[in-house]
Amino acid sequence: MSAHGFHVHGPHDHELEHAAHTRDPLSGRIAVMTAIFATIGAFFGYMAGATQNDALMFKNDSAIRKTEASDQWNFYQAKSSKQNLAELGAVLATGGEQMRYKGEVERYNKEKQEIMSKAQELERKSVELEARSEASMHVHHRWAQAMTLIQISIALAAITLLTRSRGLQYASYGVAVASVVLGGLALVHV
């Protein structure tokens, strides 16, 4: 502004003033839409990570139970070997020694049954945990697919803003709806 009240500004200043007084409804809608999509995407990303962690935990627990079952079967095999030696001792011995070996045979047989029961239970638990891991991994893939689609819809929204294409705006909405459907399927474990 000059001393005489006359105001002169450059073309850049004029454009800034014009932009400040002009509202672009499409830009506002796209900005809100993008913020909503980003919020949905954050939820999908969190759930994808959580279900992947669950799947890995179940897989790890399954491997531990499988190892414990293997240990029990090795213990069972050792008892079988001792039982076989006791049976041989019972055949070769006479009198009191023979009775002692027969008692050992019965004891080893009873111990083997307990060990076998424990090993089978550990194997059953391992299979159950493996199935839970697979189910969690399937749900993880659903969340990841939903996350990918919501990211695509955000990219389409950005392109819409640049091109002002209504077709791209509707495509962005459509991809976002598909993303939410996949997220819903993941939520109900389908």
pLDDT digits 0-9 by tens, 40-57: 999 999 999 999 999 999
pLDDT band at 27 (very low <50, low <70, confident <90, very high): confident
Residue 181 makes CB contacts below 8 A (sequence gap 6+) with: none
> pLDDT at residue 9 above 70?
no
Residue 15 in domain: no
Interval 72-91: pLDDT, tens: 999 999 999 999 999 999 99
pLDDT at 67: 97
DSSP per-residue codes, 21-39:
H---HHHHHHHHHHHHHHH
> pLDDT at residue 168 above 60?
yes
Residue 19 in domain: no
Residue 5 identity: G
Question: Which residues in 32-60 are b (16+ Cβ under 10 Å) and which e?
Answer: ebbeebeebbeebbebbeebbebbeebbe
pLDDT at 24: 77
Interval 81-133: pLDDT, tens: 999 999 999 999 888 999 999 999 999 999 999 999 999 999 999 999 999 99
Residue 128 in domain: yes
Separation CA 173–CA 148 (nearest Å): 14
pLDDT at 17: 61
Residue 6 in domain: no
Residue 62 in domain: yes
Residue 174 in domain: yes
Residue 105 in domain: yes
Q: How many structural domains are present in the chain?
A: 1
Domain that holds residue 137: 25-187
pLDDT at 92: 92
Q: How many CB atoms lie within 10 A of CB 142?
A: 22
What percent of the chain lies above the pLDDT cut of 70?
A: 88
Q: What pTM was computed for the model? A: 0.73
Residue 140 in domain: yes
Q: What is the mean pLDDT of residues 57-64?
A: 97
